[in-house]
Amino acid sequence: MTNDKDIIAAIRKDPEQGFRLLLRQYREPLYWHIRRLVVSHDDAEDATQEAFIRMFRNFDQYGEGNSFKAWLYRIATNEALRLLGRRQGCETLPLDEVTEGMMETACDAYFSDGDALVARLQRAILHLPAKQQLAFNLRYYDELSYAEIAAVSGSSEASAKTNYHLAKEKIIQYMNSNE
């Protein structure tokens, strides 16, 4: 496992080789992050590819001292929102304007509700408002700190914490009510 500092140094030394390290490290977590937001595999594939290319083009805009992980997740999240926005006929979609229906479980070839509990958890997450969903996913699946979640969602740390806890409560309620 390569740490972020090594990846940054490698990209500065040799952009192509360094970027391959970044891809190896982040291709799966960022794909799954986007997939959880856009649901369909094809959309997630397009958005992930585009997100990585944007990361490469804008690498010099990464601010030294900030969380690299948060920077990557922010680009990936924006790309997912852009894709959801295009579905609605606009360039991008502010997080506040993402509604539940836009992120409903898509029944594509790569969705399976074989594991009923996991599928139910995913449905519970998809019923959350976008900000809570994002905070929950980033904390629960990607283990980002509240500061990093705040950087990704463009909110305060306190707000990220609140969104996560509200999300958790609602998920517990949803899971219990569907037993």
Residues that bind other proteins (CB under 8 A): 15-16, 19-20, 23-24, 27-28, 31-32, 35-36, 39, 41, 45, 48-49, 52-53, 56-57, 105, 110-115, 118-119, 122
Q: How far is the CB of 45 from other proteins (least distance, A)?
A: 7
Name the residue nearer to other proteins (CB basis): 124 or 130.
Answer: 124
Q: How far is the CB of 27 from other proteins (least distance, A)?
A: 5
Of 74, 78, 70, 13, nearest to 47 (Cα)? 78
Name the residue nearer to other proteins (CB basis): 110 or 156.
Answer: 110
Name the residue nearer to other proteins (CB basis): 63 or 114.
Answer: 114
Q: Which two tokens stand for residue 80?
A: 């997912």
Buried b / exposed e across 157-175, counting CB within 10 Å, b at 16+?
Answer: eebbbbbbebbbebbeebe
Q: Are 153 and 135 in contact (CB under 8 A)?
A: yes
Q: How far is the CB of 110 from other proteins (least distance, A)?
A: 5
Burial class (CB in 10 A: 0-12, 13-18, 19+), 14: exposed
Token pair 């959309």 in the structure block, residue = 43
Write the CA distances from 96 to 53, 125, 130, 133, integer angstroms: 26, 16, 7, 11
Q: How far is the CB of 75 from other proteins (least distance, A)?
A: 13
Name the residue nearer to other proteins (CB basis): 117 or 179.
Answer: 117
Q: How far is the CB of 116 from other proteins (least distance, A)?
A: 9
Name the residue nearer to other proteins (CB basis): 126 or 166.
Answer: 126
